């Protein structure tokens, strides 16, 4: 659950330009649309806005006061250190970050790695766009923040519904009895959930594919046997075979860094679309595996 929205100022809340007045005073341009965000989108959703910026400006302080943003940290070159001081070591997964430039990646990458959400305006630098979960249609200072937060809240509501359906599917799979006579069965429980029964021998990793899905979340439940499952975030992978919409599968080249887990009888794992995985991998020796693979529609 997202509890914090971390933002930069220049290039996210503003258009990134500094305007000079007739007497040399600096001015910044903010979007009226973004002013709606704090009181009418974030606060009702229980999300605290936090500003972390490398610059120091009385204009920013005054604008944040108008908007009701109390967590304002200016002159912070090391944004990640400041972020950790604010939310703590174990709360990055509860953060969303909205940034536009290279300096923001220092915070965006750890947040994304922890399971948080990152986004950017349409005119962010290429590296930030590649990292972002959501790239706005609007440019910075032109309503991009409002666009991102509206998407974020929708994602939060959708995520709650998905979590509920995944939990229900897990409980269902744990309650059914499966034996060898069920091998190959495909059972549709409802419009959002079906499962199939698989039986195979575990094998060498080079004989298994790294794959991911877009339309469905995988729930892999081990009935008997043991296998190694390898996982990597799709943002770090290169495509081996493009997405096949009919089969809902995409294949990836094997990365250098892989997370591994062992699934034994009674274990299960939930695999979301961003989690490319390679299953059926041998642990110490090849063995027979009886598995239920549940599919929950996104």
pLDDT digits (tens, 9 = 90+) for 273-290: 888 999 999 998 999 999
Q: Examine the pLDDT at 1 and tell me if it is beyond 60.
A: yes
Split at pLDDT 50, 70, 90, the class of 34 is low
Beta bridge partners of 135: 120
Torsion angle of the four alpha carbons 204, 174, 170, 207, in this order, in degrees rounded to the nearest 10:
10
Number of folded domains in the chain? 2
Which of the pair, 240 or 59, is modelled with greater confidence? 240
Q: Is residue 19 very low, low, confident or very high in pLDDT (cuts 50, 70, 90)?
A: very low
Q: Does a structural domain hold residue 67? A: yes
**What integer pLDDT is reported at residue 25 of this predicted model?**
46
Domain-located, residue 140: yes
Q: Can you list the alpha helix ranges (DSSP code H) found in the chain?
A: 37, 58-67, 79-87, 102-114, 126-131, 144-175
CATH of the domain at 116: 3.40.50.1000
Top pLDDT among 10 and 208 is at: 208
Window from 12-16, 75-79, 182-186, 203-207 with minimum mean pLDDT: 12-16
Q: Quick check: 198 pLDDT over 90?
A: yes
Supply the pLDDT for residue 186.
Answer: 95
CA dihedral 208, 214, 216, 222 (to 10 degrees): 20
Query: With a threshold of 0.85, does the pTM exceed it?
Result: no
> CB–CB of 261/231 below 8 Å?
yes
Do 109 and 219 share a structural domain?
no
Residues 126 and 265 placed together within one structural domain of the fold = no
Same domain, 107 and 49: yes
Would the pLDDT of 35 be above 70? no
Pair (56, 202) in one structural domain: no
| pLDDT surpassing 80 at residue 228 | yes
- 170 within domain boundaries: no
- Name the average pLDDT for the chain: 85
Q: What are phi and psi of 30, to 5 degrees?
A: -110, 155
Task: Compute how many other C-beta atoms are within 10 angstroms of the C-beta atom of residue 29.
Answer: 14
Report the pLDDT value the prediction gives residue 32, as an integer from 0 to 100: 54
- pLDDT confidence of residue 11: 59
Mean pLDDT value of segment 219-245:
89
Q: Strand pairing partners for 195? A: 187, 294
In a domain, 168, yes or no: no
Query: What residues make up the domain containing 143?
Result: 4-160
Note the pLDDT tens digit of each residue in 138-190: 888 788 888 898 888 887 666 677 888 999 999 999 999 999 999 999 999 99
């Amino acid at each position: 659950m997202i509890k914090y929205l971390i933002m930069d100022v220049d290039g996210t809340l503003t258009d990134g330009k500094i305007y000079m007045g007739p007497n040399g005073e600096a001015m910044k341009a903010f979007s009226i649309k973004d002013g709606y965000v704090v009181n009418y989108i974030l606060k009702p959703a229980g999300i605290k806005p936090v500003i972390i910026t490398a610059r120091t400006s009385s204009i920013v302080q005054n604008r944040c006061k108008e908007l009701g943003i109390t967590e304002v940290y200016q002159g912070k070159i090391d944004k990640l250190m400041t972020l950790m001081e604010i939310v703590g070591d174990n709360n990055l997964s509860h953060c969303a970050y909205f940034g536009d430039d290279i300096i923001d990646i220092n915070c965006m990458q750890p947040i994304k790695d922890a399971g948080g959400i990152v986004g950017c305006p349409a005119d962010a630098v290429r590296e930030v766009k590649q990292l972002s979960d959501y790239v706005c249609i609007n440019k910075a200072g032109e309503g991009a923040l409002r666009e991102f937060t509206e998407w974020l809240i929708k994602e939060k509501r959708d995520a709650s519904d998905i979590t509920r359906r995944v939990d229900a599917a897990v409980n269902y799979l744990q309650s059914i009895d499966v034996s060898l006579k069920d091998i190959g069965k495909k059972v549709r429980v409802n419009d959002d959930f079906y499962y199939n029964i698989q039986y195979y021998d575990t094998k060498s990793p080079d004989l298994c594919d790294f794959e991911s899905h877009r339309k469905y979340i995988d729930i892999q439940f081990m009935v008997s046997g043991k296998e190694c499952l390898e996982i990597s975030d799709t943002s770090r992978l290169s495509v081996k075979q493009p997405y096949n919409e009919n089969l809902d599968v995409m294949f990836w080249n094997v990365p250098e860094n892989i997370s591994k887990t062992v699934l034994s009888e009674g274990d299960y794992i939930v695999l979301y679309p961003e989690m490319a995985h390679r299953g059926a991998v041998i642990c110490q020796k090849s063995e027979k595996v009886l598995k239920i693979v549940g599919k929950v529609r996104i």
